Amino acid sequence: MDRLKNKKNIHKIVLILILIFIALIPIIHKPVLKTYVQENETTKLIDKYTKPRQDMVENQLKNRDINDEKVLEVMNNIQRHKFVPSYLIEQAYDDNPLPIGYGQTISQPYIVALMTQSLQLKENNKVLEIGTGSGYQAAVLAELVKDVYTIEIIKELADSAENRLNNLNYKNIRVKNADGYFGWEEEAPFDAIIITAAANHIPPPLLNQLKDKGKLIIPLGSTLSFQTLTLVTKKGDELETEFITGVRFVPLTGQALKK
């Protein structure tokens, strides 16, 4: 009789344990489901922007004449879609420039890579950029050199670029709202200067702020039509020039238009 009673008690205990386990199943599984959903959403986000960026590097850069591995790596890593207006985000990796407001543009990816590669930058370099725009070119430079100084004449663009670069945690970029024609004298000399707007002459203050053996690149020519992307190497009192390719940039404004 006692054995039968004990058997019934065991059955009751087992039944209670089963009921407790069943009650806990939703709690056990809920975090797993949540984690899977979060990972799945993250994967979708990565896939959406990573593939177009990889295609950009393969088709627009490598298939042309961009062969600097560091430049290719940086262009593959930087999220260009964070530097374009939200309504153009799906076109961020297209093979063309895009408007960013105030009559300005973010340059075509290939041109960004070509200008950067042409400067033959080193890790310890200090670079001056004229024409910050959205900050994309400055971000590319910042991944390759020690310090980047960038000047934007349009205050609204300078402010938004500075905020964007700060939010993306770039510590080696300084943004200044000023006329880039005059450079950044107090921070000169520079190992390289990149001018991302067209002019019909090279601003003398920029040549003065370029180190000996330093390089300067500029879209040189008429601001009303096409220009020649020109690489200048300073050698003492002489300038060595190399013509890279034909381009079309928005004009350098301010003092440059008065010359």
Task: Tell me the three-class secondary structure of the chain, residue by residue.
Answer: CHHHHHHHHHHHHHHHHHHHHHHHHHHHHHHHHHHHHHHHHHHHHHHHHHHHHHHHHHHHHHCCCCCCHHHHHHHHHCCHHHHCCHHHHHHCCCCCCEEEECCEEECCHHHHHHHHHHCCCCCCCEEEEECCCCCHHHHHHHCCCCEEEEEECCHHHHHHHHHHHHHCCCCCEEEEECCHHHCCHHHCCEEEEEECCEECCCCHHHHHCEEEEEEEEEEEECCCCCEEEEEEEEECCEEEEEEEEEECCCECCHHHHHC
Tell me, yes or no, if 86 is annotated catalytic.
no
Q: Which of 107, 118, 134, 160 is catalytic?
A: 107
User: Which of the residues are catalytic?
Assistant: 107
